Amino acid sequence: MTVDSELQFVSDVDVQRVVSYGSAIGALDNLLRTGTATEHTPLRVRTELPYGHLLYMPSQAGGFVGMKMASVSPGNAARGLPRIQGLMILSDAETLEPLVVFDAQVITVRKTAALSALAVRYLATENSSTLVLFGTGPQAWGHVEAIRHVRSLQQVIVIGRSSSPVQILVDRILATGLDAEAGTPHAVAEADIVACCTSASNPLFDSSLLREEATVVAIGSHSPGAREVDASLVRKAVVVVESRHSAFAEAGDILLALQEGVAEHEAVNAEVADLVTGPLETAGRPRLFKGVGEAWADVAVATLSAQKLGLIN
């Protein structure tokens, strides 16, 4: 039910102001504990266009329905525009009445990084302090902010394709009081946590370099033909996905590993909802969280935003 009968618009600035990463992580955790978080989240619909593609992502979660339409335009970086843009409509679950419209960029970053951090909370060793970060965009920065809420980071090593964006991100991280430096893919040998936040189509690093109990989050791709980690990691790691339904349809990291001979029961060990209901047996093995960006998490963060802004009860 709305506080104001008029349809409200919420900007990215509003979302940033009222939703911290700590509160976003908490909202996702609470929704997962209901056991219904992913119950009404169908696979996204993708429409190819000449300069990119559109994604249609509906979900009902926690008493509200969300519909996100996101655009992905690879050429936007050269135009000085975000690669991913979008709008989201939050509606009443019973009447399907539209209640609030959001600029979805910050919601997308917040929910993705918050879900990765939630996975890190349950998967990473307690003393994890070194983060190796692949990528230099909004998701990369979001993952630094979010993971700091669940582990006491001391050092961040940033790896990217171009030196200038890498140095900009390094300087931004240094300004927060963390140690930070540019690195190469071999830096994963030093990592407690690895965050892959890229548009890569091929593995970013050799997983044989990882420490025995390192935790990797890979969130850059929702395409069956693209991946950020190799099949060897999928085979040997404890692998957690948002849901098997989306992982076996959209997660290239998983699907390409299956094509290379990894058995289905090895490729996925648990869903993210399993993390909040009981500990997994992870000792002596690396841990991998593969996310494709399911819409239930967008609904959770949009709902939190609207509640904090007093737009819904």
Dihedral-angle region of residue 122 (phi above 0 means left; psi in -120 to 50 means alpha; beta otherwise): alpha
What is residue 77's predicted lDDT score, i.e. its pLDDT? 83
Exposure string over 75-93, b if 16+ CB within 10 A, otherwise e: ebeeeeebebbbbbbbbee
Whether the CA torsion 188, 272, 110, 21 is positive or negative: it is negative
DSSP H helical segments within 35-184, as ranges? 104-123, 138-147, 163-174
Between CA 254 and CA 185 the distance in angstroms is: 21
User: What structural domains and CATH numbers belong to the chain?
Assistant: 8-108+296-308 (3.30.1780.10), 123-293 (3.40.50.720)
pLDDT digits 0-9 by tens, 108-140: 999 999 999 999 999 999 999 999 999 999 999
Token digits of residue 209: 């370099």
For residues 21 and 113, is the Cβ–Cβ distance under 8 A? yes
What is residue 86's predicted lDDT score, i.e. its pLDDT? 94
pLDDT digits 0-9 by tens, 194-213: 999 999 999 999 999 999 99
Quote the pTM value.
0.95
**What is the pLDDT confidence band of residue 1, given thresholds at 50, 70 and 90?**
very low
pLDDT digits 0-9 by tens, 160-174: 999 999 999 999 999
